[in-house]
Amino acid sequence: MAATRRPGRNHLFIPGPTTIPDRVIRAMSVQSEDHRSPSFPELAKPLFQDAKMVYGTTEGTILLYPSSGTGIWESALTNTLCRGDKVIAARFGQFSHLWVDMAQRLGLDVIVQDEEWGTGADPEKIGEALRADKDHAIKAVMIVHNETATGVTSDVGAVRKAMDAAGHPALLFVDGISSIGSLPFKMDEWKVDCAVAGSQKGFMLPAGLGLLCVSQKALKVAEGGQGGANDRLGHVYFAWSDQLNANKGGYFPYTPALPLLYGLREALATMKEEGMENIYHRHAVLGEATRQAVAAWGLKPCAKEPKWNSNTVTAIVVPEGVDAAKIIIHAYDRYNLSLGAGLSKVAGKVFRIGHLGDLNELSLLGAIAGAEMAMIDCGMKLTPGSGVAAASSYLRENPLHKA
């Protein structure tokens, strides 16, 4: 029997991929072209400059790879580090865990600082480890800025202050996959050496384009090496030198993801028109409106304290005896609403509402209404309309853009 057509569109409220603006979709509808042509640099060259505004940098160097964010993680590690190098990694969620796992599998000696899920990186603990490292054996600190599994944002600026206070030369690597383009990111001020992003989140594009911003310090390390040549971690596809040599002329060392480059150009144009400060404010308002709904439901976010709250995703803890996975499935089947699943330690215990990218008040209220109906349908005792009322009241009093 043929499936019944589902009218309307799917409401995508996972923390990435995010909904793509219509103008960006249109911009990606392009015919194939010669990526070695004399005119191709007219598309490519401005991207390396224009993307800097999203990172908060004038000094960094942008690299673009046909890749997911995971590939860019690997690029950051393999271009700067040697086999056996010590690195510090804070682990407090599924994605920070996966980055630790990658570093270990690449042959790095990872000093794992485990934090409670629902909290983030501990700057004091990082500073203590660096102060104790008198010989400067630790070569890098790895931080996930925004942990989507738990809806937690860490304070990268505080981590940098701790590193500086320790007087340690370690590189600072930041996963900004679900923060860059949505949350304030200050590459130069925080002296971040490698900042990792993916196209499918704040950049409002399909998955498949990995973005990396690299400091001058990291470039020098990559050029000179930190150890013997035979100790360097292997890298070919993700080699910075190949990219940079080709990028100088506005080209790539291999076939680029052409539609995504056109999409990136249009996405950057939309971000410039809105203004990065307005984008940050909009996400802060949408994040707080979501938390207002959660409180009205009598529930709590996974983030243990308000200081950890993410403005791009809220992980909502369901009561004991309730299976969050069933709520997610029901929301999808009944209301065509995609909510984020709980991962690893919080599987079945939380569901997630992503509130990042191209969305406004009414978009968010649709997600809150759908989540509310799904929870009630699955037997949770909620007052119908309570979350929507709380969120809408907050949104009415707090415009998305500053005057």
From the options 2.130.10.10, 2.60.40.10, 3.40.640.10, 3.40.50.10800, give the CATH code of 22-271: 3.40.640.10
Beta-carbon neighbour count of residue 7 at 10 Å? 6
Closest CA to 193 of 212, 169, 217, 209: 217
**In this structure, what DSSP letter does residue 193 have?**
S
Chain segment 62-95, per-residue pLDDT in tens: 999 999 999 999 999 999 999 999 999 999 999 9
pLDDT of residue 7: 85
The two tokens of residue 175 are 């996963």
Residues in the chain: 403
Residue with tokens 């990435």: 16
CA separation for the pair 57, 191 (Å, rounded): 10
The two tokens of residue 7 are 């009218």
The answer to whether the beta carbons of residues 80 and 194 sit under 8 Å apart is yes
Q: Where are the domains of the chain?
A: 22-271, 275-397
Q: Give the three-state DSSP class for 55.
A: helix
Chain segment 346-355, per-residue pLDDT in tens: 999 999 999 9
Partners of 196 in beta bridges: 175, 212
The answer to whether the beta carbons of residues 175 and 95 sit under 8 Å apart is yes
Chain segment 230-287, per-residue pLDDT in tens: 588 999 999 999 999 999 999 999 999 999 999 999 999 999 999 999 999 999 999 9
* pLDDT tens for the chain, residues 1 to 403: 456 777 888 999 999 999 999 999 999 999 999 999 999 999 999 999 999 999 999 999 999 999 999 999 999 999 999 999 999 999 999 999 999 999 999 999 999 999 999 999 999 999 999 999 999 999 999 999 999 999 999 999 999 999 999 999 999 999 999 999 999 999 999 999 999 999 999 999 999 999 999 999 999 999 985 554 458 899 999 999 999 999 999 999 999 999 999 999 999 999 999 999 999 999 999 999 999 999 999 999 999 999 999 999 999 999 999 999 999 999 999 999 999 999 999 999 999 999 999 999 999 999 999 999 999 999 999 999 999 999 999 999 999 998 6
| CATH code for the domain defined by 275-397 | 3.90.1150.10
Q: Give the three-state DSSP class for 43.
A: helix
pLDDT of residue 180: 98
The answer to whether the beta carbons of residues 265 and 21 sit under 8 Å apart is no
